[in-house]
Structure 1
Amino acid sequence: MTDKPTFSIEFFPPATPEGVEKLRLARAQLAQLNPAFFSVTYGAGGSTRDRTLEIVREIQAEGLHAAPHLSCIGATKDSIRDHLAEFRAMGVTRIVALRGDLPSGMADPGEFRYANELVAFIRAETGDAFHIEVAGYPEFHPQARSATADLDAFATKVRAGANSAITQYFYNADAYFQFVDEAWARGVEIPIVPGIMPIASFSKLARFSDACGAEIPQWMRRRFEALGDDTASVKALGLDIVTELCERLLEGGAPGLHFYTLNQAGLTSTIWQRLGLA
């Protein structure tokens, strides 16, 4: 594992001019925390390609470090090659390499089927020009045939040339620690950074978690449901729960934290300050 923890932040490319301006304000606030990098997501099948590139370009121009997501499903080798050239021209040195999802209605998976193929291609094309992040799923990918198959796929991605990994968010620290132990048992020795999702709205979190396969522990559900529509109390409880989760992860040896901000600065900034990371 790395000696120095890596703390990073994720954005998604907004769809409206108003969203772009709000993201600029949030980014300015979060930049004061001095994260190692800002990752920027990439829509299914490259559907946000231009918007992702624009956000990455802005981050790099501000003297900050951007880590664009790059998904391979539905892509060709030529299109990925073009992306890599664009990233290098912008001074990008870190990529989050993902399989991604096919857009609705698209049947052709393109020239890549799995993320390990993308990682291997990036390495073959660019050598060590990029630090490559891959995804990990402590509670296992919702499309995996089994937990064992998912761990084997993760190890295959790493062996293809990944430098580190960022996990799906979770609220059960034991799931993360067991995932790391089982990955290490398969020879995985790269840093596996836990993904952290601050909680602004429990109802939205529950819907999103059900869709992506992230588990919300029963005790959490009951505590939030007892608060009903009390927004202030929901945020306060969420801050306490997520801060305690982060503390346990760092105390247990996690090599950093990656915050899924949903383009909002407030909760991430507060947790960051509570942890003494600023």
Structure 2
Amino acid sequence: MQSQQKSSLIFSCEFFPPKGEQGASKLRNTRRKLALISPRYYSVTFGAGGSTQDRTFETIIDIQAEAKSSNIEAAPHLSCIGSTQGNIRDILYQYQQRGIKRLVALRGDLPSGVVDPGDFSHANQLVEFIRTQTGNHFHIEVAAYPEVHPQAKSARADLMNFKRKVESGANSAITQYFYNSDAYYRFVDRCRSTAIDIPIIPGIMPIHNYVQLARFSDISGAEIPRWLRKRLDEFSDDPVAMSAFTTDVVSDLCRRLLEAEAPGLHFYTLNRASPTLAIWDNLGLEAKYSYLSTVTTR
């Protein structure tokens, strides 16, 4: 960590767009709490086939309106699946007009029953289109998979897919969440040996609901190690003990990643502040990275 430039560390938080004003109000409260960790940006997901497009836009504009006082950027997700060049062009224009400078460009998942993916089949095509339309206006984040994308033909094929996204103009990457730090280290080593040199920021999933996490992991291919599954089974009737245990487990993961000079951490918050804040407090990050409160967003 000592060799890293402090201002280069990136901490960020991800939300899904809420439903209704009550959900929007709760998310504003969550953001106010998470502002204590001085994240570089808040990202907002984009539902399958663009199903939450309007709510994503509304949430991003809400975050952007807070940016002058919070100094936290808004970073909307854009998805290939179900999108056309026309509607992506319109969205990019609207974000440009509102001063948005960061995007997360993803392939996305094809909704059940939908056959036509739209004008973009792969994320590198979306990244290339964004660059063609907007030049270097946006800082573009893309996804990376330390444990290999579940639909990839091989680890090598997945690495080459990632490289195409980088070559198309991606600035940095956020990984799928994982609980095996070696998977991240080895993935980064393979990237560097393949001339992929952009920052690869670990995605961190705090463990709050084991059933929900298991469902996410089965879909995404993110591994929950057997030892961790077995330990989590022990806490099925004791959520307080489980929270304390999982906070320690994920905090230890974060600590090891930062000590190994990961460029930051991206928290998948599921619109909750307390699990992320518990990890932050457990690591003593508020004191250790207090300089982040003075770092500008660009």
For the residue of structure 2 that corresponds to 1:206, the secondary structure is helix
1:180 correspondence with 2:155: no
Moved over 6 A (4+): none
Aligned to 2:128: 120
Aligned to 1:108: 116
Is residue 101–residue 138 contact of structure 2 (8 Å, CA) maintained in 1?
A: yes
1:106-144, CA deviations, whole angstroms, 9 ceiling, x for partnerless residues? 211111110001111111111110000000011111111
Aligned mate of 1:76, from 78, 84, 91:
84
Aligned CA-pair RMSD: 1.3
The amino acid across from 1:47 in the alignment is S
- How far apart, CA to CA, are the structure 2 residues paired with 1:122 and 1:45? 18
The amino acid across from 2:142 in the alignment is V
Aligned to 2:20: 16
Aligned to 2:141: 133
For the residue of structure 2 that corresponds to 1:193, the secondary structure is strand
Is residue 140–residue 147 contact of structure 1 (8 Å, CA) maintained in 2?
A: yes
Aligned to 1:235: 243
For the residue of structure 1 that corresponds to 2:173, the secondary structure is strand
- More deviation in 48-57 or 223-232? 223-232
Structure 1 vs Structure 2: percent identity of aligned residues?
A: 58
Q: Provide structure 1 residue ranges, at least 5 long, that are not aligned to the other structure.
A: none
Q: How far did 1:275 drift?
A: 2.3
Aligned mate of 1:53, from 43, 57, 61:
57
The amino acid across from 2:147 in the alignment is E
- More deviation in 216-225 or 17-26? 17-26
1:200 correspondence with 2:208: yes
Q: How far did 1:269 drift?
A: 1.0
Q: How far did 1:226 drift?
A: 1.8
- How far apart, CA to CA, are the structure 2 residues paired with 1:211 and 1:130? 30
Aligned to 1:28: 32
**Structure 2 length normalisation: TM-score?**
0.90
For the residue of structure 1 that corresponds to 2:37, the secondary structure is coil
Aligned to 1:41: 45
- How far apart, CA to CA, are the structure 1 residues paired with 2:210 and 2:119? 39
**Structure 1 length normalisation: TM-score?**
0.97
The amino acid across from 2:109 in the alignment is D
Q: Provide structure 2 residue ranges, at least 5 long, that are not aligned to the other structure.
A: 287-298
Q: How far did 1:61 drift?
A: 0.2
Size of the alignment, in residue pairs?
Answer: 278
Q: How far did 1:183 drift?
A: 1.1
Aligned mate of 1:217, from 206, 221, 225:
225
Q: How far did 1:2 drift?
A: 7.4
For the residue of structure 1 that corresponds to 2:136, the secondary structure is coil
- How far apart, CA to CA, are the structure 1 residues paired with 2:198 and 2:9? 13
Q: How far did 1:260 drift?
A: 0.2
Is residue 248–residue 282 contact of structure 2 (8 Å, CA) maintained in 1?
A: no
Aligned mate of 2:175, from 167, 171, 176:
167
- How far apart, CA to CA, are the structure 1 residues paired with 2:86 and 2:215? 37
1:27-78, CA deviations, whole angstroms, 9 ceiling, x for partnerless residues? 1111122100000000011110000000000000011310000011221111
Is residue 4–residue 261 contact of structure 2 (8 Å, CA) maintained in 1?
A: no
